[in-house]
Amino acid sequence: MSQSTISTSESSQTGPQPRRMHHTKMPTLVFELSEEVDRYVAGQIAALIRQKQANGEKPVLGLATGSTPIGVYRELIRLHEEEGLDFSNVITFNLDEYWPMQPDSIHSYHRFMWENLFHHINIPKENVNIPDGTVKLSKVEEWCDAYERKIQEAGGLDLQLLGIGRTGHIGFNEPGSSRNSTTRLVTLDPKTRKDAAGEFYGEENVPMQAVTMGVHTIMNARQVIMLALGEHKAKIVRTAVEDEVSEQIPSTYLQKHPNSIFVIDAAAASRLTAVRIPWMAGLVEWTPALVKKAVIWLSQRVKKPLLKLEEADFMENHLINLLRHCDKSCEAIVHEVFMEMQNGICTRPGGDKPITAICFSPHPDDDVISMGGTLITLADQGHDMHIAYMTSGNIAVFDEDASRHAKFVNQFLEMFKLDSDNTSKMHEKLLNDLVVKKPGEPDSPEIQAVKGLIRKTEAAAGAIRAGVPESKLHFLDMPFYQTGDVKKKPIGEDDVTIVANLLRELKPDQIYVAGDLSDPHGTHRVCAQAIIRALDVVKAEGVEPEVWLYRGAWEEYEPHEIERAVPLSPAVVHRKRSAIFAHESQKDQALFPGSDEREFWVRAEDRTKNTARVYDDLGLPEFFALEGFVQYRGQL
């Protein structure tokens, strides 16, 4: 191991220590929280910088972009500002850049790096190297060769930081990339462009090509740290570290790197064999939660209802140690799991006495999509149900919808002779703003306001259909969201204060929080963090509601995770569908559908009906549909 290489087996850092995973083909470290990943990786980079400087050498870093490394960069900035981490002789080379792309574009990785790191540290501008998205096509190959030479002249990369794409790409080395590839112009995979569509306000605005370091360039780095955060990366993480090396999954090449590690959070680790079915990977520490998970897994594996499982099923499916640990009969173990599932079925989620409850909805439609049936049930059973819409959701409205609404208002005013010079001028400005806006650019403040109003009126219509009157709706318009861009600011004290004030005002008995926390930097997680921080603030004032996490827009809770299942009748499902339909701007085709192209109402119904089928297959009572919830106990 060279002097410039950091040991991956030990760390002098204080704080939470990672869990080293077994049964992976490259060293894989798992932290519970994404913030712990950020601190660990930033600490590794800082240690490398200080070690190289102590030896009188210049540290050479390969850097990545995207949402995954943002937390690492924020921690490096903190280390610079608070602990004096010196970047004055650090040399950096970035992985990639869209092509063609102007460096000052909001989508440029050049701009991303300066806004998220370089402007905040003391790195000389001449030490920063980022692929050029403006180079002419006829000069691209020549430029790429020069970029490779510059890396070599700097002494090679001491450390390369990587994220991982849904296709398994590293940098923009898409499926099919050769192990011997170097810096070059590549064509982006359709999945990669789809994943980037949100930042570009539509897939059609995403460039089709990019300049990227090659696999060979990355593999020549003396150390490689690959990051993955969130459940949406769990599938490709498992593939990258457990499957065989394949050019169809370029990240698997790193299995052959002599000094590479994969650092991930618990959500990204959820599909690893040692996490998903740890009893298949060796001895485990049996907790009540793991017993429940194993018994349900066994029931699904052998296709038997819970109460029909036999001792032979346990012995033939690697669960003999579970029987030994529990020191109970097979029947007793299964019966306990069955009763826990049965007791979690809740037809009166608010209880028998009237309570005050708040559903916190990150976007204006998360409430009805993810827990619309429970909203209807709570309202119908006489509880004081409130909905707090935390953001405007204005970036998710198509331009044509904004134009149509603007024209409607203008013609309405003309029809009733309420128009004026001011209204006519505003109408012209709105339409002109939409015409002159370049593809992928943010809206003008006026268009943002119009789009926000569209989402607000849709939210009110949907809530009313769910039985929640307009007087019980709270539009918080939290400051972190008000950037006009897909990228949002971190949560601030103003955001926390807004939520805390609502909690003080209503003093709820229950609150419901979106638990779709796939992206650690996404709106759902940021909103959840604001709520949890606000709860800490008001706890001293005696406001301590029961907190339930809901899902459904993107993923559903696994059966072993569900602690409360609320049954939905066909009539309630129909009303939930009607409430979702009120969100006309999101109907038929959403601006940001994610990897699931089904309409939101279809996703919601399919998932709740599937949960009901799962319960039925486990031998529990049969229902038309079920919405699942998990109780919050101090950790997201």
Residues belonging to the active site: 174
For residues 577 and 592, give the distance between their C-alpha atoms in angstroms, rounded to a whole number. Answer: 20
State which H helix or E strand residue 337 sits in.
Answer: helix 330-343
Is 482 buried (19+), middle (13-18) or exposed (0-12) by CB count in 10 A?
middle
CA dihedral 182, 184, 187, 192 (to 10 degrees): 60
What's the DSSP call for residue 123? -
Distance CA 620, CA 624 (A): 13
Q: For residue 29, what are the β-bridge partners?
A: 20, 263
Three-class SS state of 489: coil
Q: Is 128 helix (H, G, I), strand (E, B) or coil?
A: strand
Contacts of 487 (CB under 8 A, 6+ apart): 199
C-alpha 32/C-alpha 26 separation (Å) is: 19
Query: How far, CA to CA in Å, does 19 sit from each of 29, 264, 401, 474, 612?
Result: 6, 10, 49, 42, 35
Give, rounded to a whole angstrom, the gap between the first and last alpha carbons of the chain. Answer: 38
How do beta strands 19-20 and 91-94 pair? unpaired
Amino acid in the structure at residue 416: F
By the 8 A CB rule, do 437 and 443 touch? Answer: yes
Cα-trace Rg, the chain: 26
67/65 Cα distance (integer angstroms): 7
Tokens, residue 531: 């709520």
Amino acid identity at 378: L
Q: Which pair of structure tokens corresponds to residue 349? A: 């989620």
Q: Which residues pair with 547 in a beta bridge?
A: 511
H-helix segments, 468-522: 493-506
The structure tokens listed for 414 are 């003309």
Amino acid making up residue 634: G
